[in-house]
Amino acid sequence: MDVQQLIALDNAHVWHPYSAIGADLPTFPVASADGVRLKLADGRELIDGMSSWWSAIHGYNHPVLNRALQIQIGKVSHVMFGGLTHQPAVALATRLVELTPTPLQTVFFSDSGSVSVEVAMKMAIQYWYAKGQPARQRFLTLRSGYHGDTFGAMSVCDPVTGMHTLFSDVLVQQYFVDAPRCRFGEECDDAELVSFRRQLEQYGHKIAAVILEPIVQAAGGMNFYSADYLRGVRKLCDEFDVLLICDEIATGFGRSGRLFACDHAGISPDIMCVGKALTGGYLTLAATLTTEEVSATISSGEPGLFMHGPTFMANPLACAAALASLKLLTDSDWMANIARIETALQAGLAPCHELPSVVDVRVLGAIGVVELKEPVDMKTVQPLFVDHGIWVRPFGRLVYLMPPYVISDEDLALLTQALLRVLSRC
């Protein structure tokens, strides 16, 4: 089919994320992708500033990842994980245990980030059930957070700005505290944690776990907060005997400048969720890691097993891609590379401070954010970015960049210059 036929059929039959059928918004067919460039069906090439929603950290069509999948598909592309196991899953679980904070020793695979959050929440509830405290079924979390689009995950997203207000009457009501005001790199005094302490004092007997995005609140506002705050939360969880879940789906595998964002604070959660960049963007895969204390308690209590099991759990192709992606990352000087990207983003986005429409510009690791006074008009701004040769997908008042780690200094400069030109026009 030609491009116009493809777009017409897409508009008639295909749902896109947070969209309406027949929505009068531009959609751009991709014909191929290589390195950091997307080639559209009309022949235009775009520098990808989004890493396909933060997952394609090694870019596209990477020969090492391609080869890993070619080898694995010749062996077994999928097999049920109930009663069977395979080398890619065992090797990946072992590698994740090696890379994550030491107390995390067991791994549960799932299909997506949202499901890994559901798994983490179910782990926390089942842990307390096994310990004879079945009343602990609620969660404490931060406003401006985002943890996914499934029902459990929606309940711990910001109830006002988290895109899920429509479902508020059917979601489990959780406990919330205001997002930290102390920014990354700043000290955080005890006053910032007063409301957190009060919630634990009042509702701790009902709370199974605290769940938060460490250091970087991503889709909920691209807020970068103090490592002191995260350390304070860890201490409060210990004091009130509440589990801590760190959602590292957006931040894991180097994006914030550390392998995991909780490393900035030197803390370890009781449960950690990872996804997105895990497979380098090749296939959907996520994992929920926990401690031997949590896993042993669940396994020894009623009903004697963890109550979850996705059909495509630990898919061999996805696990093979993840192993290859992690090797590419850890065999490189990734920390220096992220620092290089951070420096380029700081320099390239600095002129945005001068634009009258801009409230703030902030950069952490390979994340650059331009916060505007007013929400962007997607119908206008998306084609402008494409016309300027870049792929950037803003939301609300936030225009942000999370480029692939393989991006060159030259392409980083082109990316930030084009973003500046578009924002200047808007």
Q: How many Cβ atoms are within 10 Å of 335's Cβ, its own excluded? A: 13
Helix or strand or coil: residue 205? Answer: coil
d(CA 35, CA 4): 27
How many angstroms separate the Cα of 43 from the Cα of each of 11, 31, 160? 21, 8, 41
How long a stretch of residues is the chain? Answer: 426
Q: Which of 146, 175, 229, 282 is catalytic?
A: 146
Fold of 75-330: Aspartate Aminotransferase; domain 2 (3.40.640)
pLDDT score, position 309: 96
Q: Which of 111, 158, 228, 247 is catalytic?
A: 247
CA nearest to 225, candidates 238, 215, 211, 235: 215
Domains 3-61+332-425 and 75-330 share a fold: no
CA nearest to 347, candidates 272, 416, 422: 416
Answer yes or no: is pLDDT of 161 > 80: no
Compute the average pLDDT of residues 86-96: 98
Percent of the chain with pLDDT over 90: 94
Q: Among this protein's residues, is 18 annotated catalytic?
A: yes
Q: Which of 18, 24, 190, 333 is catalytic?
A: 18
Adjacent-strand bridge partners of 216:
224
**What does DSSP say about strands 286-291 and 104-110: parallel, antiparallel, or unpaired?**
antiparallel
pLDDT tens column, 205-228 = 999 999 999 999 999 899 999 999
Answer yes or no: is pLDDT of 162 > 70: no
d(CA 286, CA 313): 9
51, 404 in Cβ contact below 8 A?
yes
pLDDT score, position 177: 97
pLDDT score, position 124: 98
- Delimit the domains of the chain by residue range: 3-61+332-425, 75-330
Q: How many Cβ atoms are within 10 Å of 225's Cβ, its own excluded? A: 25
pLDDT tens column, 275-295 = 999 999 999 999 999 999 999
Classify residue 378 by burial, with Cβ atoms within 10 Å: 0-12, 13-18, 19+. middle
Q: Which of 175, 276, 400, 411 is catalytic?
A: 276
* Architecture category of domain 3-61+332-425 in CATH: Alpha-Beta Complex (3.90)
What's this model's pTM, rounded to 2 decimal places? 0.97
Pure H helices in 208-315: 227-239, 292-300
Q: Among this protein's residues, is 235 annotated catalytic?
A: no
Compute the average pLDDT of residues 89-97: 98
Q: Whole-number mean pLDDT of the chain?
A: 96
Q: Kindly report whether the peptide bond that precedes residue 63 is cis, defined as omega within 30 degrees of 0.
A: no
Spell out where 286-336 has E strands: 286-291
pLDDT score, position 408: 98
CA nearest to 288, candidates 305, 303, 275, 301: 275
What does the DSSP assignment read for 347-393?
Answer: HHHGGGGGSTTEEEEEEETTEEEEEESS---HHHHHHHHHHTTEE--
384, 426 in Cβ contact below 8 A?
yes
